[in-house]
Structure 1
Amino acid sequence: MDKSWITKDRLSKEYEEGVDNFIMFALENTMDPSRVHCPCRKCSNLKKLDIMEIKSHLYFNGIDQTYVKWIWHGEEDDYNNKVPNERKKFDQVFDDPIEMVRDADERFVDKSEEYLKFLEDAEKPIFSGAPLSKLVVLVKLYNLKAGSSWSDTSFTKLLTLLKEILPKDNELPSSIYEAKKTLCTLGMEYSKIHACPNDCVLYRNQYESATECPVCKTSRWKKNKNNKECKKGIPAKVLWYLPPIPRFIRLFRNPEHVESLRWHEDGRIKDDKLRHPADSPAWKEVDELWPQIRKDPRNL
């Protein structure tokens, strides 16, 4: 697409035609026509605006002339041609349910029955004769939910509608709660740790059995409307701890991910310019303090 118009006078015919062509291009490549990144000098793609508001911004503020690759409006960046496009691979992996469960199988060594149920869901068609399995459909739908910022309520309504539309023998869950029970098997381990509401301590180790915070004396338990502790001992605050090691293991199991994880060492341009966190003073300080970590670029 011709982009010479971005340097033209904003009162010229070329600029006017360029703005119109840009607007058409942006609308053709957006999932949400009502909210599009504004590339004017003032917004610099940091704000999403109505398309007509963007058009007025381009006339009043002018377009950001450094924005020559329209990556926020559907144009592929050169970087994406070098680094694996994970979104495409995401869809490719989910076309094969067995490939999708392969990452999960190691966590079911001592839970054979649970793994067989998971495998059954992966292979079971969403309805008789369907080309996609129940698990594949759920993951694709949930990916749409996450990518489009749908609320849990709207996602449940979609599941309910789809269940009514599909044949009666369909395996689609009718609520997000049921969907999550299936999808949670794909996830990795986590721990729930009770915490002080004022963030003083975590109730673990020496505080495992404490009923109030040893620092601020606030109760460990949630209170009801009458300011009384809940009978079931519901914690006032919970920390969700995500152990990093299982996540690192999963990342390094994929050869293409490994290449990307080493990019800061093998592919980064090293010219003393700040292009990547690896160029920052903080990163370099870590390298100096712990040279044994610096020696191996796989050390996340």
Structure 2
Amino acid sequence: MDKSWIHSDRRSKQYEEGVELFIRGCLENPHIDPNLIHCPCCKCKNLKKRPAKSIREHLYFHGFSQNYVNWIWHGESAESDKVNWSKNKEPIGNYHGHFETTNMYEAAYDNYTENPEAFMEFLEEAEKPLYNGCKCYTKLSAIVKLYNTKAKHGMSDALFSDLLMDFGDMIPDNHNLPTKMYDVKKTSSCLALSHEKIHACSNDCILYRKQYKDCVNCPKCGLSRWKLTKKNVEKKGVPTKVLRYFPPIPRFKRMFKSLHTSKNLTWHAETTGVPDQLRHPADSPSWKLVDHMWPDFESEPRNLHLALAADGINPYSNLSSRYSCWPIMLVTYNLPLNMCMKRKYIMVTMLISGPKQPGNNIDVYLDVLVEDLKRLWDGVDGVYDAYRRQFFTLKAVLLWTINDFPAYGNLSGCTTHGYYACPVCKEDTYAKHLENGKKMSFVGHRRFLPRFHPYRRQMKEFDGMEEHGESSTPLSGVALFDKLSDIRCVFGKKIIVKGKKRENAKDNNLEDSKEEKDFGSTDFRKCIVSM
């Protein structure tokens, strides 16, 4: 539908014909009550229902809400406006507050396009005022505001329920504010992003997805997919291990639907950096290398630059517990300095449950995220930019990972302990085992000094020898890729059976060799190097 009349003069013939066409379309929609139609004017903001006559008057007096892009309240689908919508890159007016409310409704609409009845029920609940005569808050806006405060300060569910009851006593009777945390979650669940629960092998061999979706036992180690009772009876439907995956693509789409966030996501392209100073990741060599190698990616400032952070935590805050849960997070560096590292914009994409850490087999779990990262690298169509009011193709690149040294070894496949613990020196690492301290000592640092440095000739102050060696050359991305491509990957941790070790049920006679080390999958490492 042509919507160019929305931006025209309200006294023009074009605007008059557009209003009449809009009213006629609402009256012809069988799902809309002709006496109670959502008013899309700048004053009502689709939060009030009025007769068609009153809506016509409001559209002439107050004007049509210009940020009401998809007329989802009046029978139009969410994606029907991709072609005809204006591609003007400049925002028109300041409708930040209204668009945030509209974005909240559109989030629920995206989740319930297949169930219109649930969406209409959500609208009815959301439009209820907090109490009779309240003009500041609706039931939904009050719940969202209070729930954000709960999340910000880390309130417990019991404390939040008590506060809801206290607030209910302070406001007038016959209010619509819930009194229990369960009711709050039930009402706000329409706004939540979806997540997936993927069953995993307890030995981290496979995920029960794709070709293994219907398997009952692990094809690698033979263990059952389901938990066992004390009498070794399987609990059907209760998996031994679950991976919780939160897809990042819907989250990125919702970020661009926010007028404020969408504007800040192009901050890096609109500011000028200080030469020879690193003030933001946009000034880093990795960012500039991506811009140099892929000019098409650099030409679109809305393309995302990401970092992946992974580490194990103890969710129970008990130092004596050995339980280790691994969250996998993505950081968006397109945002300004004061925003990119805030908790609001650091998204958890994956939660690997314990009780033991996945180790080198973490790639088995990261395979799900790698698929979405590859899809983002190829481009995701139909992403709406609220600030520029246009649809575009979103792309993203993974710049680096953030982790401690042991986790670095799990993600990269490099050895981070023992005689060859240095990922730079590799086989040339100068390591010595201390007999009394039972620790590894790493020496030979003088070889990194300039060739004629005086420290190289000193013997008494160091290990009694002069240093004439040269520093090692770090592996480049291509060399690391070639080195990892020759490794034969064996999934799953070693299983102990009657005091003996074996790799899995099918490889009882497999002996360890230098080419057959248990490094896990190299797909994630190849993804980082190739991008």
The TM-score normalised by the length of structure 1 is 0.59
1:122 paired residue number: 126
Structure scoring higher RCO (CA < 8 A, sep ≥ 6) equals 2
Q: Which residue of 2 aligns with 1:186?
A: 191
**How many residues align structurally?**
209
In the superposition, relative to structure 1, how do residues 258 and 145 fare at CA in structure 2: closer, same or farther (>3 Å)? same
Q: What aligned pairs does 1:1-300 form with structure 2 within 5 A after superposition?
A: 92=97, 100-131=104-135, 132-224=137-229, 228-231=233-236, 233-300=237-304
Structure 2 equivalent of residue 25 of structure 1: none
- The offset of 1:107, in angstroms, is 4.1
Q: Is the Cα contact below 8 Å between 1:163 and 1:172 reproduced in 2? A: yes
More off after superposition, 150-159 vs 99-108: 99-108
Q: Secondary structure at the match of 2:244?
A: strand
Distance 2:216 2:259 in 1: 48
SS of 1:238's equivalent?
A: strand
Shift of 1:269: 1.4
Q: CA deviation at 1:99?
A: 6.0
Distance in 2 between residues matched to 1:255 and 1:174, nearest whole Å: 32
Superposition deviation, residue 245 in structure 1 = 2.7
> How far apart, in 2, do the equivalents of 1:125 and 1:225 lie?
53
Structure 1 residue 261, shift from structure 2 partner: 0.7
What do the CA deviations read for 1:24-68 (whole angstroms, capped 9, x no partner)? Answer: xxxxxxxxxxxxxxxxxxxxxxxxxxxxxxxxxxxxxxxxxxxxx
Q: Which amino acid aligns with 1:274?
A: L
The one-letter code matched in structure 1 to 2:205 is C
SS state of the match for residue 138, structure 1? helix
Report if the CA contact (8 A) 1:135-1:183 is conserved: yes
Task: Provide Cα deviations, 1:207-260, integer angstroms capped at 9, x if missing partner.
Answer: 1012233334443224456664334x1223332322233222222233432321
Change (3 A) 1:258 1:201: same
Q: Which amino acid aligns with 1:101?
A: Y
Query: How far apart, CA to CA, are the structure 2 residues paired with 1:219 and 1:117?
Result: 42
Partner of 2:341: none
Q: TM-score, normalised by structure 2?
A: 0.35
Instruction: Flag the 1:172–1:269 CA change in 2: closer, same or farther, 3 A.
Output: same
1:156-202 Cα shifts (integer Å, max 9, x gaps): 23234434555553322232222112112112233222223444322
Q: Structure 1 counterpart of 2:155, which letter?
A: W
Residues 180, 273 of structure 1: alpha-carbon distance in 2 compared, 3 angstrom cutoff:
same
Cα distance change on mapping 1:99 and 1:201 into 2, 3 Å: closer
Call closer, same or farther: CA 1:97–1:286 in 2, change over 3 Å: closer
CA distance in 2, matches of 1:97, 1:182: 16
SS class of match (2:183): helix
In the alignment, is the contact (CA less than 8 A) between 2:103 and 2:257 conserved in 1?
A: no
C-alpha RMSD of the superposition: 3.0
**Paired residue secondary structure (2:201):** coil
Report deviation, 1:127.
Answer: 2.6
**Structure 1 pair 255/129, CA: closer, same or farther in 2 (3 Å)?**
closer
Q: Distance in 2 between matches of 1:249 and 1:97?
A: 16
SS in 1 for 2:197: strand
Name the SS for the 1:234 alignment partner: strand
